[in-house]
Structure 1
Amino acid sequence: MAKSHVTIKEVAAAAGVSYQTVSKVINNQIQVSKDTEQRIWEAVNTLGYKPNYVARSLRAQRSFTIGYSWPSSPDNQTNPILDHFLQSMFVAAEAHGYYLLCFPYHENYQRHLDTYNELIDTGRVDGFVLSSIEYNDPRVLLLMDRKIPFVAFGRSNPELSFSWIDVDGGQGIRQEMEHIIAQGHQKIGVLAWPEDSRVGNNRISGYFDVMHERGLEVKPEWIRRGQGCFDYGYQATLEILDLPKEIRPTALIAMNDLMAVGAIQAAKSRGVAVGRDFAVGGFDDYPMTQYIDPPLTTLRQPIIEVGKQIITMLLEVINGENNSEPRTIMLNPELVIRGSTVRN
């Protein structure tokens, strides 16, 4: 049985190395041979050694904690994308001896920034992960001004230079558009977010690019902008279906799955055969979309890979391993074709 209060020197003696080597291996500060590393971890596990993280933080002048906050979902909605993102970050951070400090997201932005400042000033975190990035994002401006390590899931203004990882929504919508056009559709509408949405503008760019390249007309009545929820998708689709037949779209691209599911239900309420006569495509691949009737064609984000990479990138910044230009990574979503866009 492992005894209590095992010291690092006892681990070192059991592994046949110095206690400094044990400390550096545990804290991912040194590379040793596989045999040496295995002996150290076997000794750690056999003796039941538990590092003193308070002492570790004092010695290193670090908290070994990463801060993260995110906007809450509406009461009647879940966010499986966020679940995957969080879990992948938790696992990646723990593998490097770090943990996430999740803190409230305040709609009052000054109060929200005050929380960032407090965490920085009290040394509670070594850096931050940001998401839901928008133009002129105050969090980005604050952390850049204070020279605090951070990496963002998403881009902001082109002139702001910082490390980020993102999913190319425009490239994804391009894939979906090409598939829908291959099914014979030319009058294609879009359920979009408001014009001040950075993510929304990136995604809808794929729609406009393909329509322009194919020489297809885009009528103003086909572009509907609003909240990315089921109710808006439902109502906007009814309005599109009420357009005169000669200009009525035969397909819709939605900027997220909730709007797409609303569109499917609206079309079915009018007796329109979704898939055969009216195509609907979404974005995000929420788990429930494969079970609706018909199953939704959508775009799957590599969200687990994003979570892993964003932690690796942030630790590089914290450890001073990336002193040149900020590192940026762009990933592509995967088109998942299901019945909502396939003509039988």
Structure 2
Amino acid sequence: MTTLRELARHLGLSPATVSRALNGFPEVGQATRARVLAASETLNYTPNVTAKRLATGKSGMVGLVFRTLPGYTIDPHFADFLASLSEALADSRIDLVFHVASAEDQLSHYRRFVKDGVVDGMILSAPEPDDARIALMESRNLPFVVHGRGTEDAGYAYFDIDNAGAFRAATTLLVELGHRRIAFLNGSERLGFARQRRGAYDAVLASRGLRTPQRFVVHGEMTEETGYAAAAAMLAEPVAQRPSAFICSSTLQALGVMRAAAEAGLTIGSELSIISHDDVLPHLRSENFAPPLTVTRAPIRNAGPALAQMIMARMDDVAPARLQRIEKADLIVRASTGRVPKWGEEAWTH
């Protein structure tokens, strides 16, 4: 392996000049920097990470707080995102340092990251409209990027999907299939993405003169058990009052709805329709459900590489306004949706 001194000798430059060129110091001219970079690639030079960190004053580490669900289980959506993020950062020789915390205890972990000064930036996930974590990062001038938006007009760097567009399309499809009693299983109502999805659902129904009883809109953790419990209660209602369709914020919730439908003796697609948002979790393929699930599709793994690039740009002082990306979600219609059954043609009466 070529050393820094050997590279400098090959170029006829001092080791200090070569080091400054490799680390982007402004006093090194563009022509010299280009020459050094070309030679380092030709000679297969790999910089000493510790030396680089000493030279730049940066740790080469990015922080993240890993949220656990009640009972200390791991959210599979977040785990898949974490895997793609870690892989993308590693490709750029940046280490991901993460803590595990409950939703209630996250802020104290962010404070610790800021106080200890061991990371060059932070990646936040599942933002709220008035998020104390974001306020903390901004007050300490620590570079950060966010997976999602707490508000539609967020001023920070973020990668998000078009939640409103996705759930507008899902609700519209069901209404056009004749459904008037559409239940909605959503994420926690304090989270930005859940508010965006609920807003789109409400807007479509209002535009068609439809309304939904509050008990048929459920916010909470997006798990199979919460989906099952909510759907089982709704499907136990008298036929004239139960939903003919469900919209779910997660395929995990949709699994629970399918289980409740089976227990109620309802055939999915003809007697009960289901649409879910699909993060494309590798162990839970919506096309393999029975029947295949109609979804709004946006792979959560896409967020990892995008946010890795964004946090590196923020650490290089790229303005947040230049680092805001919204990815479209595709509506994929499959066999879990169909025309409204006769018993579901009327809107809720109470």
CA gap 1:15/1:265 in 2 versus in 1, 3 angstroms: farther
| Corresponding position of 2:171 | 177
Matched, 1:317 2:311: no
3-state SS of the aligned residue for 2:309? helix
1:57 Cα deviation after fit = 1.2
From 301, 304, 316, the counterpart of 2:301: 304
* Aligned-partner residue type, residue 320 of structure 1: D
Greater Cα shift, 327-336 or 220-229: 220-229
3-state SS of the aligned residue for 2:84? helix
| Corresponding position of 1:213 | 207
From 271, 281, 284, the counterpart of 1:286: 281
Paired residues for 1:206-285 under 5 Å: 206-283=200-277, 284-285=279-280
1 or 2, which has the higher strand percentage? 2
* Aligned-partner residue type, residue 132 of structure 1: A
| Corresponding position of 2:61 | 65
Residue pair 2:146, 2:159 contacting (<8 A) in 1 also: yes
1:129 Cα deviation after fit = 0.4
- 1-side partners of 2:111 and 2:75: how far apart? 28
Q: Which ranges of 4 or more aligned residues in structure 1 deviate by more than 6 Å?
A: 15-18, 28-36
Matched, 1:204 2:207: no
Provide the TM-score with structure 2 as the length reference.
0.81
Residue pair 2:65, 2:109 contacting (<8 A) in 1 also: no
| Corresponding position of 2:337 | 341
- 2-side partners of 1:12 and 1:299: how far apart? 54
Summarize deviations over 1:220-276 as a string: whole Å, max 9, x none. 343234442222211221222233323332111112222211111111111101011
* Aligned-partner residue type, residue 321 of structure 1: V
| Corresponding position of 2:40 | 40
1:67 Cα deviation after fit = 0.6
- 2-side partners of 1:182 and 1:16: how far apart? 73
Provide the TM-score with structure 1 as the length reference.
0.83
Residue pair 2:67, 2:74 contacting (<8 A) in 1 also: no
1:80 Cα deviation after fit = 4.4
1:341 Cα deviation after fit = 1.5
| Corresponding position of 2:145 | 151
1:296 Cα deviation after fit = 2.0
- 1-side partners of 2:54 and 2:311: how far apart? 21
Segments of structure 1 that go 5 or more residues without pairing to the other structure are: none
CA gap 1:213/1:169 in 2 versus in 1, 3 angstroms: same
| Corresponding position of 1:10 | 6
Residue pair 1:27, 1:96 contacting (<8 A) in 2 also: no
3-state SS of the aligned residue for 1:184? coil
CA gap 1:162/1:277 in 2 versus in 1, 3 angstroms: same
CA gap 1:270/1:108 in 2 versus in 1, 3 angstroms: closer
Identity %: 27
Matched, 1:85 2:85: no
* Aligned-partner residue type, residue 155 of structure 1: R
3-state SS of the aligned residue for 2:43? helix
| Corresponding position of 2:345 | none
Residue pair 1:190, 1:252 contacting (<8 A) in 2 also: yes
CA gap 1:217/1:73 in 2 versus in 1, 3 angstroms: closer
1:126 Cα deviation after fit = 0.5
3-state SS of the aligned residue for 1:274? coil
Greater Cα shift, 49-58 or 141-150: 49-58
Summarize deviations over 1:174-228 as a string: whole Å, max 9, x none. 1222232343323212123454343222112121111122333333343234442
- 2-side partners of 1:159 and 1:183: how far apart? 33
CA gap 1:240/1:113 in 2 versus in 1, 3 angstroms: closer
1:75 Cα deviation after fit = 6.2
| Corresponding position of 1:125 | 119
* Aligned-partner residue type, residue 319 of structure 1: D
Residue pair 1:229, 1:258 contacting (<8 A) in 2 also: yes
3-state SS of the aligned residue for 1:103? strand
* Aligned-partner residue type, residue 216 of structure 2: W
* Aligned-partner residue type, residue 100 of structure 1: L
Q: CA RMSD in A?
A: 3.2
Aligned length: 333
* Aligned-partner residue type, residue 333 of structure 2: I
- 2-side partners of 1:64 and 1:139: how far apart? 22
